[in-house]
Structures are given as C-alpha cells and as structure tokens.
C-alpha cells in the first residue's frame, strides 16, 4: 500500500503549521553537509543531495547521528533518523528523517522533503 494513502489528511491550518516547520527542518538539514562555494552551482547542489541520500561513509549510522544532532540543535524534539527500510517513503538504504510538526510530519531524504499526515499509529515513520 502506498505510504501516503495510509496517512491522515491534514487540514489547511495543520498543513500550514507543518510547512512552516518544514522550512526550518530543511534549513537545518542543509547545514549538515552543505559545503558548496558561493555562488552555489546546480551541480554542487545535486552532489550534496546525493551525498545526503547515500552517504559516502561505510557507517550510515554516523550520518544519521549527525542529522539527528543537527535537528535537535535546531530545537526539534520528536525526531527519527535512520537508513530507510522497506516501509519508509524513501529509497531503500537512503538516510530518511522524520520530524513531528503538530498534526503533521516533515519526512525527507537526500534533497527530497515532504509534508505528510501521521501514520495510523500516530507516528511519522513505521
């Protein structure tokens, strides 16, 4: 079953609250690995997104810890960061993150980020 079909529907005010959080989450994630010279080229941005999705390290937990610490430092408290599994809305083995944002969730991996409703059990990831 498609991940988004299992999730709760957000009202417009819930979506607006989650989208505001998504901007802050995206800014925090960009600080994790963004080391492109200014002005930033499209090629460098694409490479950074690829590195976030599939870290060059042999230890993906190290990358997950770094992202988790960055999100916590940005003030988020309900955070999950891990290599994506078969039920996650991300490519398998990419580093996926989820931040609870009111009734919604900010879920992302690599250069992708979505505002979604919660899963039936109330969490952002299974």
pLDDT at residue 78, as a whole number: 95
pLDDT (tens digit, 9 = 90+) per residue, 51-78?
665 655 567 788 888 899 999 999 999 9
This prediction has a pTM of: 0.80
Q: Backbone phi, then psi, for 99, in 5-degree steps?
A: -130, 125
- Strand-pair partners of 82: 96
pLDDT at residue 71, as a whole number: 94
pLDDT at residue 51, as a whole number: 67
pLDDT (tens digit, 9 = 90+) per residue, 36-47?
666 767 787 777
Please state, in angstroms and rounded to a whole number, the distance separating the CA atoms of residues 19 and 114.
Answer: 9
Does the pLDDT value for residue 117 go beyond 60? yes
- CA neighbor of 124 nearest in space, from 94, 80, 91, 77: 80
pLDDT at residue 56, as a whole number: 56
pLDDT at residue 111, as a whole number: 80
**Residue 57 DSSP label:** S
């Amino acid at each position: 079953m498609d991940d988004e079909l299992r999730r709760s529907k957000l009202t417009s005010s819930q979506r607006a609250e989650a989208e505001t959080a998504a901007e802050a989450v995206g800014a925090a994630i960009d600080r994790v690995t963004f080391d492109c010279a200014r002005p930033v080229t499209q090629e460098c941005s694409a490479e950074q997104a690829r590195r976030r999705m599939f870290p060059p390290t042999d230890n993906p937990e190290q990358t997950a810890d770094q992202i988790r610490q960055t999100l916590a430092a940005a003030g988020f408290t309900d955070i999950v960061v891990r290599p994506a599994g078969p039920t996650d809305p991300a490519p398998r083995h990419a580093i996926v993150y989820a931040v609870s944002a009111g009734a919604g969730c900010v879920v992302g991996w690599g250069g992708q980020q979505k505002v979604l409703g919660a899963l039936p059990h109330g969490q952002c990831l299974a």
